């Protein structure tokens, strides 16, 4: 089975710029993967995402070479409304995508637009309210919601479309750490239980490295590292690509520089502290 998302020799330059922001990108994402995309600001992460749901080349002008294939469809040949049924996009600021008077109306907006039957719309609405645990928000106006609730409503509108892929551009940037961590758990649950492919751009690696299957590090114009978190986070030059390495990951890398090896490579404090206790014979 071919990968769900395929970038084949993709290059793109915005019409306002003389140099390409993406150059000869070859990238394949399998169905059901949870992928974290990181890199310095302005390196083209958001541009890469826009190439998946067709905002590029449909809405943004520029020089587009190569191709992107999503679920067997060549993105360039499809319009945005068709691609929206396959790819859901959650923006950094949920206020940019919630616009109806109530949560319920906002969630069903996309479904009505693609012409689904009333019964089908009702079923999907009930399902999404339940799965995201937002039944109590159903009749609330968006302005009555907290940022965390708004983010859930934004994802509900996207999820109701039954997309195969959900793309999120810095979804936790407006959330406090506790709300952000709860939101990430919701995402992982959707990925695990429904098999939805998740692609997240996020600078807060500490929140996501435990749930992601794969981390892709972008540099200027191209992909620098790509692999499972435990492998990618051990790369010595990550900081050159703007990656904020979580402190305990940095500690393990710093110990390894002095040839002090700890059994395994741990992504959370519990894991590394248990291993240090063993090494220091505290157990």
Interface with other proteins by CB under 8 A: which residues?
A: 14, 16-17, 39-42, 46, 92-93, 146-148, 170, 173-181, 203-204, 206, 239, 241-248, 250-251, 254-255, 258-262, 269-270, 272-273, 276-277, 279-280, 282
Q: Is the peptide bond before 57 cis (omega within 30 degrees of 0)?
A: yes
From CA 238, how far away is CA 42, in angstroms rounded? 16
Number of CB atoms found within 10 A of residue 126's CB: 12
* CA separation for the pair 131, 108 (Å, rounded): 15
99 exposure class (CB count in 10 Å sphere: 0-12, 13-18, 19+) = exposed
Which one, 121 or 134, has the nearer CB to other proteins? Answer: 134
How far from chain centre, in Å, is Cα 256?
30
Contacts of residue 206, Cβ cutoff 8 Å, sequence gap at least 6: 246
Question: Which of residues 24 and 181 has its CB atom nearest to other proteins in the complex?
Answer: 181
Least distance from other proteins to the Cβ atom of residue 265, Å: 14
3-state secondary structure of 253: helix
Least Å distance, CB 113 to other proteins, is: 26
CB of 241 to other proteins, least distance (A): 8
Least Å distance, CB 259 to other proteins, is 5
Decide whether 102 or 173 has the Cβ nearer to other proteins: 173
Count Cα atoms within 13 angstroms, Cβ side, for 194: 20
Cβ of residue 77: shortest distance to other proteins, in angstroms?
27
Specify the residue, 189 or 279, whose C-beta has the smaller distance to other proteins: 279
Residue 34 to residue 188: CA distance in whole angstroms? 8
Name which of 38 and 128 has its Cβ closer to other proteins.
Answer: 38
Q: How far is the CB of 168 from other proteins (least distance, A)?
A: 13
The answer to whether the beta carbons of residues 143 and 103 sit under 8 Å apart is no
Minimum CB distance to other proteins smaller for 33 or for 169: 169
């Amino acid at each position: 089975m071919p990968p769900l998302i395929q970038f084949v020799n993709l290059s793109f330059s915005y019409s306002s710029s003389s140099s390409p922001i993406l150059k000869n990108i070859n990238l394949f994402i399998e169905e059901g993967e949870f992928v974290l995309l990181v890199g310095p600001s302005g390196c083209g992460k958001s541009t890469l995402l826009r190439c998946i749901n067709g905002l590029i080349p449909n809405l943004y002008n520029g020089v587009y070479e190569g191709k992107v294939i999503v679920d067997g469809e060549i993105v360039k040949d499809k319009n945005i409304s068709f691609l929206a049924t396959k790819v859901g996009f959650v923006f950094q600021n949920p206020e940019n995508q919630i616009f109806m008077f109530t949560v319920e109306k906002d969630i069903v907006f996309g479904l009505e637009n693609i012409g689904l039957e009333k019964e089908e719309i009702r079923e999907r609405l009930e399902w999404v309210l339940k799965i995201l645990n937002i039944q109590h928000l159903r009749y609330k106006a968006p302005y009555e919601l907290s940022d965390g609730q708004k983010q859930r409503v934004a994802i509900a509108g996207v999820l109701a479309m039954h997309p195969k892929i959900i793309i999120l551009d810095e979804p936790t940037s407006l959330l406090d750490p506790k709300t952000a961590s709860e939101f990430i758990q919701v995402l992982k649950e959707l990925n695990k239980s429904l098999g939805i492919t998740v692609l997240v751009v996020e600078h807060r690696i500490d929140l996501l490295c435990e749930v992601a299957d794969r981390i892709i590090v972008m540099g200027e114009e191209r992909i620098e590292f790509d692999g499972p978190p435990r492998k990618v986070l051990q790369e010595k030059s990550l900081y050159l690509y703007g990656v904020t390495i979580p402190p305990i990951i940095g500690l393990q890398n710093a110990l390894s520089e002095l040839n002090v090896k700890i059994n395994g490579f741990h992504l959370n404090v519990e894991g590394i502290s248990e291993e240090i206790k063993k090494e220091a014979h505290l157990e």
